């Protein structure tokens, strides 16, 4: 679902460049890969900004 639905959306709305749009949509999910490196993986009281590697101020800028 995480790969097929963005592909369907890209194909439906951007038929001329659907492959490029699909790749951009898939690459945006890479930002959340750094959540797997955190201990614990999920914490309700933690702010992601400046805690995860890809959510640092340097990565955002």
Tokens found for residue 24 = 């951009």
At 56, the pLDDT band (50, 70, 90 cuts) reads confident
pLDDT at 7: 95
The total number of structural domains that make up the chain: 1
At 26, the pLDDT band (50, 70, 90 cuts) reads very high
Tokens found for residue 49 = 């900004």
Neighbouring C-alpha atoms within 13 Å toward the C-beta of 31:
11
Q: 16 lies in which domain range?
A: 4-60
């Amino acid at each position: 679902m995480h790969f097929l639905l963005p592909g369907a959306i890209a194909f439906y709305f951007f038929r001329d460049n659907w492959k490029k749009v699909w790749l951009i949509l898939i690459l945006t999910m890479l930002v959340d890969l750094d959540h797997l490196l955190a201990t614990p993986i999920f914490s309700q009281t933690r702010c992601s900004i400046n805690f995860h590697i890809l959510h640092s101020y340097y990565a955002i800028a």
